[in-house]
Amino acid sequence: MDIIKIVGIGLVTVVASMLVKPIKPEVSIIIGLCGGILILLQTVNYIVDVVDAFYSIVEKTGLDTGLLKTLIKIIGVGYLTEFSANVCQDAGSSSIADKILFAGKIIILVIALPIVTSIIEIIMEILP
């Protein structure tokens, strides 16, 4: 099971990072970043499966593919923002992490604006 690999990578990364941190804090950050990237690489196939499932739903329902692309962008920005902010927090830069999270939220809002606008237009057509 992949979760066992992921947990193993996570635990080895944490232990290695903890052992190296008192001696070389900058190397500890790199170890953490590499462990995080390895974990992400373990999930790539699952991400592809989810995107394929979304496309299958869109094909079956006849929904606009632009909506799906927007949804995937929003999810991607959210995960990338969270991952980046966590790396910054692990490195001791919580103020940068907060700014990354803020920027991610603003970007998600901008990406979602066409969807919100469409929903408002539909509601306005329904209401007298």
pLDDT digits (tens, 9 = 90+) for 48-102: 998 899 889 888 888 788 888 898 899 999 999 999 999 899 888 999 999 999 9
Average pLDDT of the chain to the nearest whole number: 91
**Residues near 5 by beta carbon (within 8 Å), at least 6 away in sequence:** 42
pLDDT over 70, % of the chain: 99
Q: Which two tokens stand for residue 90?
A: 């692990």
Q: How many helices (H) and strands (E) does the chain have?
A: 5, 0
Predicted confidence at residue 12, as pLDDT, reads: 95
